[in-house]
Amino acid sequence: MAGTFLFGSCGEPQLSDAPTLQEDQKPPVTFPDILNSRNRSSSGRLEDQLVSTLNSTLFADANIKVSQVHVCMLNSVNKATTVTTVDQQFESTLSSRWVTNDTRRNWNGDNNLNDLDWMFFPPFAVANGTFNATPIYQAMYNKWEFGGSCKTLNIDQTLYNTSMGNPSLILGIGGLPPADLPLADISVIGFLPASIFEAIFGSPNVLGVAFSFVFINPDTGEPIKTTRGKEDKAFTEVWFNNGFSWSMGAAPGKIDLESVILHEFGHTLNLGHFGILQAFTTNGVTKLVYQPVNTMNAFYIGEPRNFLGPNDKGNYCEAWGSWPWN
Ligand SMILES: [Zn+2]
């Protein structure tokens, strides 16, 4: 469904063309049925399945495609002996990269092409119906911008209003289909129903996810690589799972909002998962330990990670140290 379009006869401005969303209510969310884990072919990593499914359906004819999907999960270990490496990932920066002065992604029309513009969607900015995430979003982008050690990039907020329509390229929202074009470089959709995560990821443990999109050469279908051999980033979309019990600060059985938001925003700033997670078992009691502690560790283990670790800062500088000279 494509919204209501009215056609006038005399070339008058058609203000009613723009799809709008209702304010003051949580609009229903839908996703393409092909994304359901039951409907996907099940070979390969979950993240790779999602990339190929999205690109062969929703974005088959688009000039931007999904490059990577990063899934942040809650980890729990049932049984381990002595020291076990549960996970290790060392993707300091992503395979895709924002390009300075990129006229292709003047999505919000501000002509300020050396900044990154992020936007959040107000109807889903409250976690568990209790915690307003808006100030946390702002604080966590500030933490990266000013605490990432290399202050080269301006991270700006673009305000959403309902006349802009659907801020998601993947989800149907409030009866509107997925948008054709981004509204900003980064769209933080917000805290979405758990049912969506369970259907798409086939797991109840997904805390948040970041979809990284890149520009495609329409002639070859291949990603365009302008700088450092990396794919030219077009857009990133972020979701959080409202099915968890969120909290301000780490607490037993709860998930710290700042830790997970800071982590997902790291993905929007070109950073990948980085670090080792080990399980130490002593006298039958298992304790999970990061080596070292970074916000970009792939898994959340119940401890606060609402600060930038040594690798977070180093990788941020690798990604942004020479900006805007690329
Ligand atoms: Zn992640």
Residue 111 has pLDDT above 90, yes or no: yes
What is the whole-number distance in angstroms between the Cα of residue 19 and the centre of ligand 1? 32
- For residue 287, list its beta bridge partners: 280
Does a structural domain hold residue 279?
A: no
Does a structural domain hold residue 14?
A: no
Residue 13 has pLDDT above 70, yes or no: no
Give the pLDDT score at 37: 86
Residue 19 has pLDDT above 80, yes or no: no
What is the whole-number distance in angstroms between the Cα of residue 246 and the centre of ligand 1? 17
- For residue 285, list its beta bridge partners: 282
Residue 80 has pLDDT above 60, yes or no: no
Collapsing DSSP to helix, strand or coil, 231 comes out as strand
What is the whole-number distance in angstroms between the Cα of residue 156 and the centre of ligand 1? 22
- For residue 68, list its beta bridge partners: 212
Does a structural domain hold residue 282?
A: no
- The overall average pLDDT reported for the chain is 89
Q: Is 24 or 257 the better-scoring residue by pLDDT?
A: 257
What is the whole-number distance in angstroms between the Cα of residue 102 and the centre of ligand 1? 26
pLDDT band of residue 6 (cuts 50, 70, 90) is: very low
Give the pLDDT score at 46: 87
Reading the block at residue 191, the tokens are 């805290």
Q: Which of 9-18, 142-151, 263-272 has the highest mean pLDDT?
A: 263-272
Residue 10 has pLDDT above 90, yes or no: no
Give percent of the chain above pLDDT 90. 70
* 3-state secondary structure string across 235-274: EEEEEEECCCCEECCCCCCCEEHHHHHHHHHHHHCCECCE
Amino acid letter, residue 299: F
Does a structural domain hold residue 80?
A: no
Give percent of the chain above pLDDT 70. 90
Give the pLDDT score at 149: 84
Give the pLDDT score at 74: 86
Give the pLDDT score at 317: 95
What is the whole-number distance in angstroms between the Cα of residue 3 and the centre of ligand 1? 34
Tell me, rounded to whole angstroms, the distance of Cα 17 from its chain centroid.
29
Radius of gyration of the chain (CA): 20
Distance CA 37, CA 43 (A): 11
Give the pLDDT score at 21: 65
pLDDT band of residue 81 (cuts 50, 70, 90) is: low
Does a structural domain hold residue 308?
A: no
Nearest residue to 248 via CA among 263, 262, 259: 259
Distance CA 291, CA 303 (A): 13
Nearest residue to 96 via CA among 321, 319, 309, 295: 319
Structurally, the chain folds into a number of domains equal to 1
What is the whole-number distance in angstroms between the Cα of residue 240 and the centre of ligand 1? 11
Give the pLDDT score at 250: 85
pLDDT band of residue 14 (cuts 50, 70, 90) is: very low
First to last CA, the chain: 41
* 3-state secondary structure string across the chain: CCCCCCCCCCCCCCHHHCCCCCCCCCCCEECCHHHCCCCCCCCCCHHHHHHHHHHHCCCCCCCEEEEEEEEEEECCCCCCCCEEEEEEEECCECCEECCCCCHHHCCCCCCCCCEEEEEECHHHCEECCCEECHHHHHHHHHHHHHHCCCCCCEEEECCCCHHHCCCCCCCEECCECCCCCCCCCEEEEEEECHHHHHHHHCCCCEEEEEEEEEEECCCCCCECCCECCEEEEEEEEEEEECCCCEECCCCCCCEEHHHHHHHHHHHHCCECCEEEEEEEEECCEEEEEEECCCCCCCEECCCCCCCCCHHHHHHHHHHHCCCCCC
Residue 247 has pLDDT above 70, yes or no: yes
Collapsing DSSP to helix, strand or coil, 6 comes out as coil
What is the whole-number distance in angstroms between the Cα of residue 5 and the centre of ligand 1? 39
What is the whole-number distance in angstroms between the Cα of residue 11 and the centre of ligand 1? 48
Model-level pTM?
0.86
What is the whole-number distance in angstroms between the Cα of residue 103 and the centre of ligand 1? 28
What is the whole-number distance in angstroms between the Cα of residue 298 and the centre of ligand 1? 5
Give the pLDDT score at 326: 78
What is the whole-number distance in angstroms between the Cα of residue 121 and the centre of ligand 1? 20
Does a structural domain hold residue 302?
A: no
pLDDT band of residue 85 (cuts 50, 70, 90) is: confident
Give the pLDDT score at 222: 95
Amino acid letter, residue 187: S
User: What's the length of the chain?
Assistant: 326
Distance CA 171, CA 58 (A): 10
Residue 288 has pLDDT above 90, yes or no: no
Domain range for 135: 29-74+93-270
In this predicted model, what pLDDT tens digit does every residue of 193-243 receive, in sequence order? Answer: 999 999 999 988 999 999 999 999 999 999 999 999 999 999 999 999 999
What is the whole-number distance in angstroms between the Cα of residue 220 and the centre of ligand 1? 30
Does a structural domain hold residue 202?
A: yes
289: enclosing H helix or E strand = strand 285-291
Give the pLDDT score at 11: 35
What is the whole-number distance in angstroms between the Cα of residue 16 and the centre of ligand 1? 39
pLDDT band of residue 23 (cuts 50, 70, 90) is: low
Does a structural domain hold residue 280?
A: no
What is the whole-number distance in angstroms between the Cα of residue 316 and the centre of ligand 1? 15
Give the pLDDT score at 308: 97
Amino acid letter, residue 255: I
Residue 168 has pLDDT above 80, yes or no: yes
What is the whole-number distance in angstroms between the Cα of residue 180 and the centre of ligand 1? 25
